[in-house]
Amino acid sequence: MRAGFRLGELPGTLARMSAPPDGLPIYRVLTGPDDAAFCRRVSDALGLGYRLHGSPSVTFNGEQVIVAQALIWPDASEGPRG
């Protein structure tokens, strides 16, 4: 986990930052096998303050199901969430 916090323990100011932490991009697409590790990666990004962007994409590569989920950092001009 980034910034030394565990999911659910993030300080309130982190979720209200105008830019993603640690130099992460505003827009991200996470991809990988459809497993618990992928779900944790998406959950961690949501815990940092990212929002889901669109629906997930799913494909089969002949061996396993591969998923992709776009995430976007909320624009500071949107105002507070909650």
Instruction: Give me the residue spans of the domains in the chain.
Output: 24-75
* C-alpha closest to that of 68 among 76, 77, 58, 53: 58
In this prediction the pTM is 0.71
Is pLDDT above 60 for 67?
A: yes
**Other beta carbons within 10 Å of 47:** 19
For residue 82, give the amino acid letter. G
Q: Is 75 exposed, middle or buried (0-12, 13-18, 19+ CB in 10 A)?
A: exposed
Poorest-confidence range of 4-18, 21-35, 37-51, 60-74?
4-18
Question: What are 39-62's pLDDT values in tens digits?
Answer: 999 999 999 999 999 999 999 999
More confident residue, 14 or 65: 65
Average pLDDT score over the chain: 83
